[in-house]
Chains A and B, each alone.
Chain A
């Protein structure tokens, strides 16, 4: 039975396996297919998926920092509007001096994703155009989404902190005093005393 349901998914996998050198490939569940490729295979696979297999909708693109392995994992997620399948194309690049090809000539909205990843992770995309600053402004620290960026330490250094959490009890008494004297007349008859 499961063979029947996953027919389209299996077909896609077979096609891709025949055509490209895949590091790994699997069907996660119905409507989700995952392939892992080398960075240089990214453009051929994506182009093939778009032009020949009908995966024309670029649904998502994300980057995960695997600092233990010293690598970024970049995932491209495509969607087939007729067969209703999400195809994950995953690739890994080194954290330092790694770079990926720019794919905004295939899908122009990829430009936004790539600019964000470039800004947030410091991952280089070859030939990527567009404004350098997408979300942040005048940022001169390490890119914030990297795992080695400690946001709490940064916050402690740059921003002010309001004290008063430690004497929470006094605050509560203060609030109690204040509400009693500031209650409007109509509310006084409903107050506790």
Chain B
């Protein structure tokens, strides 16, 4: 290989990058010797904007923080408000929330199917999986009125009850998706070239993974059973039947297998939540939003999103506006420190492949 080092700017305008960010690579031949993440291209100053908006107005903008998966944001915001205020949530709302979160997880994983195989050059897979993701978005549209941004899970419950005939439609969609997932397996997981690409690439040291702040599927691919849904159960996850997968290997292939298992589990969880859902109230009414104040205090809430632990740190000073809402998405660690260290020594061909396997999502790094 040549000794000469070339600087390669991967992004912000680059088809291989996930979202709008930049990875500055120093390459020798085809090998990366140094990587540096540059973010800030999507900074909107959410945390500043929330200081200026009252509790309900802030709720409408939180879902914009992470675009591929907005629901964990709403869930986190609502739960943080409820924890500080001590507001009760009806049982039915909890089940609806769990169902919504799992639907969001399925939608994100379908997008991930597309990203992971698209970055490896398998262009048929994104067409299938992103196309099928529309069926989930259709469910969301029935449920909330929006395809991407739902503003559905709000403090005190959910905004609307399930529409008429929703359960049947959701069940049918789940059956269809389960069938399609077998097709995906044939195209992607049983593809020998994909296996060759994915195995042994982007290995995280399993000993150090927890300490480095790895969360979600990448951590479970290191053989560590860690899932907020089990460790710090929220809503009604402790009443539902599911297990946390963990596999040894910690490369891109293992992460893919973990997600392959989890998307099936999410389909199962949606079915469980729909079956076990009690009847009753779905919303604990909030007062006039302009006069709605929340007692002083702080809360740290976590949700297991499709990419890992999504956390909110919220501080209230007793007024009608949040004092501080600090968002920490999984990509905050995955996309910066972890990625910078993981890319060293890898091939240029694998950079966007590894980024997709970590689930890097720039809007939640910079908010």
Contacts and interface: CB of A to CB of B under 8 A. Distances in A.
Interface stretch (A12-20, A134-142, A165-173, A177-185): A134-142
Given A84-B232, A108-B212, A137-B40, A60 B337 contact: no
B47 interface: yes
A147 B232 CA distance: 33
Contacts of A135: 39-40, 43, 366
Contacts of A108: 212, 337
Contacts of A62: 313, 324, 326
A68 to B, nearest CB: 9
A111 B337 contact: yes
B311 interface: yes
B271 interface: no
A135 B232 CA distance: 31
Interface stretch (B68-76, B101-109, B256-264, B328-336): B328-336
Interface in B307-363: 309, 311, 313, 315, 323-324, 326, 328, 332-333, 336-338
Contacts of B311: 59-60, 77
Interface residues of B, number: 35
Interface string A61-90: 011110000000001010001001010100
A32 B300 contact: yes
A134 B39 contact: yes
A145 interface: yes
Given A62-B326, A109-B212, A77 B43 contact: no
Given A60-B326, A88-B300, A145-B47, A75 B313 contact: yes
A151 B45 contact: yes
Contacts of A134: 39-40
B124 interface: no
B48 interface: yes
B337 A112 contact: yes
Contacts of A132: none
B144 interface: no
B51 interface: yes
B231 A84 contact: yes
B226 interface: yes
Interface residues of A, number: 34
Given A107-B213, A109-B333, A112-B333, A81 B226 contact: yes
B323 A64 contact: yes
A36 B232 CA distance: 23
Given A112-B337, A134-B39, A136-B40, A64 B210 contact: no
B47 A64 contact: no
A151 B45 CA distance: 10
A56 B326 contact: no
A145 B44 CA distance: 12
Interface string A40-61: 0000000000000000111110
Residue in A59, A133, A149 whose Cβ sees the most chain B Cβ within 10 Å:
A59
Interface string B230-255: 01100000000000000000000000
23 contacts: A31-B232, A56-B210, A58-B211, A59-B213, A59-B309, A59-B311, A60-B326, A62-B324, A62-B326, A64-B324, A65-B324, A75-B298, A81-B226, A107-B211, A107-B213, A109-B213, A112-B332, A112-B333, A112-B337, A135-B39, A144-B45, A145-B47, A145-B48
